[in-house]
Amino acid sequence: MATNILAITPVIGPALQKVVIGGNDYGHQTLTRFFAVHAGVIPATIVALIVAHIYLFRRHGITPKEPRRRPDAAFWPDQVLRDAVACLAVLLTVLFFIGRNHGAELGAPADPSQQFEARPEWYFLFLFQLLKYFPGGTEIWGAIALPALLMLALAAMPWIGRSKAGHRGNLAFLCALLGAVALLTFLAIDEDRRNPEYRAAVEVADRDAARAVVLAQAPDGIPLTGAVTLLHNDPLTQGPRLFAKNCASCHRYDGNDGLGGQPKGAPTASDLKGFASRAWLTGLHDPKQVAETRYFGGSKLKSGEMAGFVHDDVAGFSAAEKDQLQKALLALSAEAGLKAQSEADRHDAALIDEGRKLLGGNTVRCSDCHQFHFEDHSLVGPDLTGYGSRDWLIAFLNNPASDRFYGKANDRMPAFGADKRLTAQEIGLIVDWLRGEWYSSPR
């Protein structure tokens, strides 16, 4: 941070940093002091310098070279009018950009739990890039020594420029300085443009900013703990992050890690986008898909009983048996109570009732391995009662090796809850995200 640069100032650096921060740690005092500096101290200093400049200008004049091209103009109202027109032009330019961008850019709420390489505004990018060339303990040269030498050179320009050669030297120095600033700015922008991790982080930050606006419009509004709490409790924001961190080493979500990235290595477990939906279950029972990476292709289950049943039995089903299987899958998917297909479940209520009977019977043979609204602990497959529902998924993530699910046949799936790898809230956020349950603004 900028305060770390302040701290490396010889002798007074640590004390200045503490004054600016408002203590030893960043907090509300830091924000208050930065606001006071930018809204009070700096503008007051600029006004004082302008007053001093006008006073010296009025007292000593501008001392132009002789002969003068035209007579001196009066300060009032001629010069004041020119200054006013220039100020008005600047003000209109600022208002134009405010109107075009609907005010200042509103980023996502600051979140200490998320790492993001922030960038300064474009007019400070050259300094940001310059400091990259002074790593380790050499920052003082790029942050203090070199800028101090440049400021001394600028301050000496009136004396250097008294001669013809000195004037040309000043012009050459200014051109070189502006060229260096332009080059460093270009390099900073170009490096970020070619940095995929930075571009992905910017996209995530933009999504968080837009999402925070939506959540702030919810009936409960913004809590006392701040807008960042809205994002911390939002499945759409936290679900993919938790998935990428804890699940994407084995699973995928639509072929990626949930955030759009590609983990190293091939997936070793099923793709969970649309889990328990009608389309997902239909693919699972398709002999051409069950052994693909979207389902069991990357795990030892590709040679298990479920994959064998699909390959050996379902592949040979008659048209009538396939129709019965489809009804059973409608019923199984309805157990999840997915928000995205609630209307379809209501429309197919009669078919779902028929499918439930098929699931509990011997026609489609699901009950050979799975419990479904009955108890038979000798069966080896996961209990399908409430399959894909919020409670079912939370229990599964807590301990997939329990007798209710895979038991001893569990294939490397961690017990995220039982082993305290994730909190109950984090498991709930992943589950709600997978199920597509998050706040949406009413249209």
Mean pLDDT for each consecutive 10-residue tract of the chain (443 residues)? 77 86 82 90 94 84 65 78 94 90 78 81 91 86 90 92 89 96 97 90 88 92 91 95 94 92 89 96 94 86 87 91 94 96 96 93 86 88 94 96 86 90 97 96 76
On whether residue 296 sits in a domain, the answer given is yes
Phi, psi of 134, deg, nearest 5: -130, 75
The dihedral through the CA atoms of 148, 153, 157, 159 has a sign that is positive
Straight-line distance from the first to the last Cα atom of the chain, in angstroms, rounded to the nearest whole number: 41
Residue 295 lies in a domain: yes
Domain boundary among 35, 62, 89: 62
Q: Considering the domain boundaries, does residue 51 fall inside one?
A: yes
Q: For residue 359, how many other CB atoms are within 10 A of its CB?
A: 22
**36 within 8 A of 48, measured Cβ to Cβ:** no
What are the pLDDT digits (tens) for 315-360? 999 999 999 999 999 999 999 999 999 999 999 999 999 999 999 8
Q: Look at residue 435 in the predicted model and tell me its pLDDT.
A: 97
CA nearest neighbour of 251 among 436, 437, 434: 434
Residue 35 domain-assigned?
yes
- Tally the domains of the chain: 2
Question: In 3D, which of 164, 166, 136, 130 has the Cα closest to residue 149?
Answer: 130
CA angle 405-411-415, nearest 5°? Answer: 60
Q: Please state the separation of Cα 102 from the chain's center in Å.
A: 22
For CA atoms 419, 421, 422, 423, the dihedral sign is positive
Domain of residue 50 covers 1-62
Question: What is the radius of gyration, based on Cα positions, of the chain?
Answer: 33
Task: Identify whether 93 is part of a domain.
Answer: no
Q: What's residue 62's pLDDT? A: 66
Which DSSP string corresponds to 252-314? BBTTB-SSS---SS---S-B-TTTTSHHHHHHHT-TTTTTSTTTTTTSGGGGSHHHHHHHHTG
Amino acid 297 reads G
**Domain end residue (candidates: 324, 346, 368):** 368
Q: Is residue 311 part of a domain?
A: yes
pLDDT score, position 409: 75
The reply to whether 39 falls in a domain is: yes
Enumerate the β-bridge partners of residue 256.
Answer: 253
Q: Which of 405, 357, 401 is nearest to 379 (CA)?
A: 405
Which of 317, 338, 368 terminates a domain? The answer is 368
Q: What is the pTM of this model?
A: 0.77
Q: What are the tokens at 363?
A: 């026609």
Residue appearing with tokens 């940095």: 195
- Residue 384, judged by CB atoms within 10 A of its CB (0-12, 13-18, 19+), counts as buried
pLDDT at site 383: 94
pLDDT of residue 189: 96
CA distance 329 to 351: 10
Residues 190-220 have pLDDT tens digits of 999 999 888 888 888 889 999 999 999 999 8
Q: What is the pLDDT of residues 144-173, one digit of tens each?
A: 899 999 999 999 998 998 888 899 999 999
Whether 292 is in a domain gets the answer yes
- The whole-number pLDDT of residue 162 equals 85
Position 303 scores a pLDDT of 84
At 316-328, the pLDDT tens digits run 999 999 999 999 9
- The DSSP letter of residue 76 is I
* DSSP element (H, E) containing 182: helix 164-193
